Structure 1
C-alpha cells in the first residue's frame, strides 16, 4: 500500500472523509440556479403535490424519489436548496458506496480510494447530485445495496443474512424511485448464485433458497410500502385493490410512444459520450449559465478499456472482482437494449457510468506492479478535465451566449 494513503488505513475514517468531501463538492452553490432546471419541472411540482397529499401526479414513475424531494422542501423550504439537498446527499452516498464496495471486494485501500475519487470526478455524478431528478436517488440505493451485499459476503452468523436483507430492501427502494433499478434485483440473484457456486464459503450459512427468497420478498415489500402516502390522498386515494392495476398504468405510461426530442439518443451511443444534454443554457440569476450532462471523457472512454481489461483478467484468473467490475457495467448497460422505451436519453446511462469507476480501480489494481503510478496519473487527468469543464457543469457565470463553444470537443456535442 502506498504510504501516502497510510492515514486512511481505517476504512470508516476514509469513508467519512469521502462522504464529507463529496457532500461539500456537490453542495457548493447548489441553490444556483434558483429556477427549476430540466426535468425538475416535472418532479418538483409532483413533490409539492405529494407533500400536500392532494392527488396522484407524474404517475409514470413510483413515489419514493418524489417523496424524498418533498422531504427536502419540508426541511429547507420550497426553494432551490430544498429541491436539491437530498440529491447532493444521494451523490455522496454513491461515492461512499463505491468506496465501500471496492474495499470489501479487494480488501485494499488504494483501489477503493481511486474508485471513490474517480466517482467524485465523474461529471455525470456531479451533475445528477445537483438536480432534483429521480436517477440520483435510484443510483444511491443501488450502490448502497452493492456495498451491503459485499459486506454480507464477509460476515458471519446472523450478520450475513441481516446485511443481505439490508441490500435486498435497498434494491426495493431503488426500484421505488425508478423502475430502471428493477433489473438489479435479478443481477443480485444471478451474482449470488455464480459467486456461491465458485466459492461455497461465501455468504456462510446463507443457502441459495434463503438468499433468493429474502431478495425477492424483501425487495417487493419495500417497494410496495413506498406507496403508503398515496393511500392518504385527498382526491382519488390509492387502495389495496388498485395497487396492482396502478403498476400496469405506470407500465403503459412508461412504454407509450413519445414524439421526437431534441436531445434523444440511441443507447449504443452513450458509452462513447456522443450526445450530452444541456440541462440549462440561458441567462438566469443575473448571468449566462449552463449545465451540461456530459461524462468525464477520461472516465467514459478509459473506463471502456478498463472493462475490457477486467474481462481479460477474469478469463485469466477467474477472480470474482474482475467478474463483478466488468459484469456490473456490461449488464447495467446492455439491459437498455431490451427496455421498451420509445426514446432514449443520455441520463439513462447514469448508473452504468458509475460502474466505470469501479472497473478502472480494479483494472489499475491488477496492473499496479507493471504500471505503478498509472492510477495516480489517471486520477490527475480526470481532475484536470473536471476543473476545465466545471463552469458548464456547475452553472457558473459565463461570458456570453456563445461561451459554450470553448468546451465543445465533438460534433455531436450541442
Structure 2
C-alpha cells in the first residue's frame, strides 16, 4: 500500500493525541487505590525491588497497606525484605506488572505512577488501530474514524486510567493482529510479483509472534488469540497463493509456509513468555522458587530444578483458574457483556461534604462501562459482517469476526461449564475489533470513492452523525468514568440500568 503525503500518519496521530489527552488528564484521580490496583500496583513495585512479587504486611489486599501506600509510606515494602518468607502466590504472568512497574520507576509509587503505562498503552492502541483500519480499508478517513471511536469508548478509557492488566492484554493482541495484517499484505505482493516465489524472512510475522507471546505473558487468555491468529495467518497464505495462480495452494503452503510458521508462531511466543519470567528465575524471591535447593549442585541441576519448580507453579495457577468460583458483587456473565448489563464499579466515594458539588449529597465514582452508543451499534455491525462474509468471503469481515469469537466464546464455555467468576472488563481486548466492525460497515455506508457525489455526501453525513452521537454519549458518561465530583442526582441520571448501580 503506497503512502502519500502527511495525512496517513498525521491524521491517526492527531486522533491518538486527542485520546491521550482524555486518558492522561487527571490521571492521578482518584487519589486512592482503585479495585484490583491493590494487587497489581504492589506486585509491580515488588518486581522493581526484588524481581518477583512479594506479600506485604501479610496480605496483598490490606486496607492498612493501601492507606500507607497513598500517604507515601513505603515501609510496607521494606518490611517484606526483612521477613524470611514473603513469596507471593500470584495468578497471572509478570509482563503486565513489569509494564506497570515502568511507570512507578519513572514517576514514583503513587496513583499517577502506577497508572502511567496503562495510559500509554491505551493511547498507543488508538494509533495502532487507526493505522490498521487505514491499511484494511485503504482510507485515511476511515482509519481516523476507527481511532476516534476507540478513543471514545468508556471501558477502554477507564482501563487506560487504571493499573489493571487487561489494557496491556488488549494492546498486545491488537499489535499482534496488526503485524499479521502487514505480513499478509507483503506476502501477497511478493507472490503476485512472482508466483511460487520463496518468501524469505517474514519479520512482521515474527513481530506478531512476539506480540502475541507478550499477550500470553500478561494474561493466559491471550493463548486463544495466539492459536486462532496462527491458523488465520496460514489461511491467508493459502489465499495469497491462490490469488497468485499457484496450483494446489494448500500443499504449497504446508510445504513452504510451515518452514517458518513454527518459529514465528510457536517458538517466538514461547520464548517471549518465558523471558517475562526472568526475574523469577534469577532471584530467590519468587513463589515456589526453591532457590536453595536449585543452587545446591551444579549448573545442570540448577536448570533442571528451576524448570521443574516453574512448571509446577504454572500447573498450580492453571488449577486456580479452573476452580475460581468465588462470588463477587460486580461479576457478570459473557451474555451480559455485549449489552452492558453489569459494568464494574471500580471506585465510589459518597461521603463528600455538600460544598464539594453545591448539593446535599455529592459522589465521585469510576464505573467500568463501555459507551452504550458504540457497543449497541457494534452488535448490529457484527451481524452485518456475518451476512457480508457469507455473501462475499471478504477476508476483513472474516478476520474481525474470528477475533471477536476468540475473545468471547471461551468465556461462554467457562461460564457454562465452570461458573467461573468473570467481569465485563474481560471484553476490552475485543473493543478494537468491535470498532473495526463498525469501521468496515461505515465504509459500506460511505460507498466507493468513485460513487456519485450525493451518495458520498449522504454516507458521510450518516457516519459523521454516528461519531457525534458516540462523542456526546461519552461526554455524558465522562464524569462517572473518571471520578469527577457530581451530585447524587447527576450520578443516578447516568446509570443506564438499575444493574449499573
TM-score, L = length of structure 2: 0.76
Q: Given that residues 445 and 463 in structure 2 are in contact (C-alpha distance below 8 angstroms), is that contact kept between their aligned partners in structure 1? A: no
- Higher deviation after alignment, 198-207 or 94-103: 198-207
Alpha-carbon distance in 1 for matches of 2:499, 2:286: 45
2:380 matches 1:380: no
Pick one of 39, 46, 55 that aligns with 2:36: 39
Q: Given that residues 93 and 144 in structure 1 are in contact (C-alpha distance below 8 angstroms), is that contact kept between their aligned partners in structure 2? A: no
2:394 matches 1:324: no
State the Cα deviation string for residues 319-368 of structure 1 (Å, max 9, x = none): 11111222222332112112456212111111123311110000110232
Alpha-carbon distance in 1 for matches of 2:270, 2:4: 42
Q: Given that residues 307 and 329 in structure 1 are in contact (C-alpha distance below 8 angstroms), is that contact kept between their aligned partners in structure 2? A: no
Q: Given that residues 149 and 435 in structure 2 are in contact (C-alpha distance below 8 angstroms), is that contact kept between their aligned partners in structure 1? A: yes
**Residue in structure 2 matched with residue 268 of structure 1 by the alignment:** 335
| Secondary structure, counterpart of 2:347 in structure 1 | strand
Q: Given that residues 366 and 481 in structure 2 are in contact (C-alpha distance below 8 angstroms), is that contact kept between their aligned partners in structure 1? A: yes
Alpha-carbon distance in 1 for matches of 2:158, 2:320: 27
- Correspondence list, 1:302-321, <5 A: 302-321=377-396
Alpha-carbon distance in 2 for matches of 1:123, 1:179: 24
What are the ranges of 5 or more consecutive residues in structure 2 without an aligned counterpart? 55-86, 191-198, 247-252, 290-305, 357-362, 448-454
Pick one of 318, 324, 336 that aligns with 2:411: 336
Q: Given that residues 184 and 233 in structure 2 are in contact (C-alpha distance below 8 angstroms), is that contact kept between their aligned partners in structure 1? A: no
How far the C-alpha of 1:299 sits from its partner, in A, is 1.1
Q: Given that residues 169 and 222 in structure 2 are in contact (C-alpha distance below 8 angstroms), is that contact kept between their aligned partners in structure 1? A: yes
**Equivalences, count:** 408
**Residue in structure 2 matched with residue 366 of structure 1 by the alignment:** 444
- Higher deviation after alignment, 355-364 or 242-251: 242-251
Pick one of 84, 91, 95 that aligns with 2:122: 91
**Residue in structure 1 matched with residue 66 of structure 2 by the alignment:** none
- Higher deviation after alignment, 201-210 or 390-399: 201-210
RMSD between aligned residues: 2.5
Q: Given that residues 254 and 341 in structure 1 are in contact (C-alpha distance below 8 angstroms), is that contact kept between their aligned partners in structure 2? A: no
**Residue in structure 2 matched with residue 3 of structure 1 by the alignment:** none
- Correspondence list, 1:74-153, <5 A: 74-153=105-184
TM-score, L = length of structure 1: 0.92
Q: Given that residues 152 and 160 in structure 1 are in contact (C-alpha distance below 8 angstroms), is that contact kept between their aligned partners in structure 2? A: no
State the Cα deviation string for residues 283-306 of structure 1 (Å, max 9, x = none): 589853111111111111110100
Alpha-carbon distance in 1 for matches of 2:402, 2:112: 36
**Residue in structure 2 matched with residue 390 of structure 1 by the alignment:** 478
Larger Rg, first or second structure (1 or 2): 2
2:326 matches 1:259: yes
Q: Given that residues 43 and 58 in structure 1 are in contact (C-alpha distance below 8 angstroms), is that contact kept between their aligned partners in structure 2? A: no
**Residue in structure 1 matched with residue 229 of structure 2 by the alignment:** 188
